[in-house]
Structure 1
Amino acid sequence: MIRIEKLNQKYGGTQILWDLDLEVERGSCTCIMGRNGAGKTTLLKCLMGLLPTSDGKILYQGESIEGSPAQARAKMGIGYVPQGRDIFPLLTVEENLQIGLPARRDGLKKIPERVFELFPVLKDMLHRRGGDLSGGQQQQLAIGRALVIDPKVLILDEPNEGIQPNIVRQIADVVTQLNEEDGLTVILVEQKLGFARRVGKEFRLMQKGSVVAADKMANLDDGLIRQYLAV
């Protein structure tokens, strides 16, 4: 569904991604992992069109998209939940969710009920400002906002950062449900090994701006963890 070939990216005169190759199959849940500074967030931003690339190809459903802006990629069905959530704190929960509606391909003008089925707390807090929500509730809002566009691919950048354990478990359940029941393709940057193993079907390990290992999650062994993840 997504194939990246020989992708290079330079930021502020420093090269972050080096001839990076990545393939994500339709319906998979792929965890991208690596130490801090490996280039994981940069990769996601390039995939979403938020950072320019130096050269290389990004193919989505067989079509080249590296020249497309972020809003065009959203309309193609790529949903993105950034690190730090980036909700609009002065807008209400309802207004935050409505922001995604123009990107829908079917022209729907109301928030899909599916969002509230997955995150009932959002329906209870529709008229509260986003900035008044707890960290865990803001994360649910950020995921809900991405789901409003009816994505075919959901990209999540460290969705558990600063989140209380009960919400972490809920997010894990939602990601699994979206992937296994709704057939949504998921790409997830995650530092917590337990969470990655719980939800992920595949892993991709990054080091110094390149993917250095790729396999089924069941094959992420202690040797790979020591070599590429241990600090």
Structure 2
Amino acid sequence: MRRVDQKVCIVTGGAMGLGEATARLLAREGAKVVLTDLKDAEGEAVAAGIRKEGGDALYLHHDVADEGAWEEVMKQTVAAHGRLDALVNNAGVVRACAPHEQTLESWRWLMSINLDGVFLGTKHAMRTMMAANPGTGSIVNLSSIAGLVGIAEVSAYCASKGAVSTYTKAVALYCGREKLGIRVNSVHPAYIWTPMVENHLKSLGDLEEGRKMADAAHPIGHVGEPDDVAYAVLYLVSDEAKFVTGAETVVDGGYTAQ
């Protein structure tokens, strides 16, 4: 079943991890995928792999903190496909730091990607959807369990993801009130085994011990896999979720139920 057949979907941070898994799944389910990243070699490889499997994929170099770059991504997407049906704001970073040692520079760097990137993407996706295919559209913002509960060693990350969550709700309410037909939702993963999580655990000490602790933190007994999140995104992008907006979709192995 091609659940998003012919939908034009942008996935940021699509070169690896959750973005790669999401781009591949959307393409398998019939979407025309535009994946963006700063890691050009990896992003081109993902797009080439999708095309080799019979899917439709275009890779674009993209700094999500740069408004001009967003304008160019939207321009190229419309030039290639004529419209935009869905945006997955996936690009994000994490860096462990004690709150009293956080520099303003590192705080602003993290916010520029995790929060400014979501704001800019949402803004320009809405404009593109309203112009090219009014009355429809889906925006999925990747938040985190760190947007729902505190995690001591990543306070700045928590702040950014908490903001993504409430920003998503506010935009969803606006789109509903204005009858724009654009649904806006957030997804909240726990620890998913991706390069970002692996590097984060390495930064905290021994990777093997870190993996054991991460597994044990989830009542289900292990960390998640990228496809666990990709399937949640697929649902929210699809017409199956036509009555879902302003929602927090939690994919966390029971982490926040504790």
TM-score by length of 2: 0.33
Greater strand percent: which structure?
1
Q: Please report the TM-score for the alignment, with normalisation by the length of structure 1.
A: 0.36
Higher relative contact order (CA 8 A, sep 6+): 1
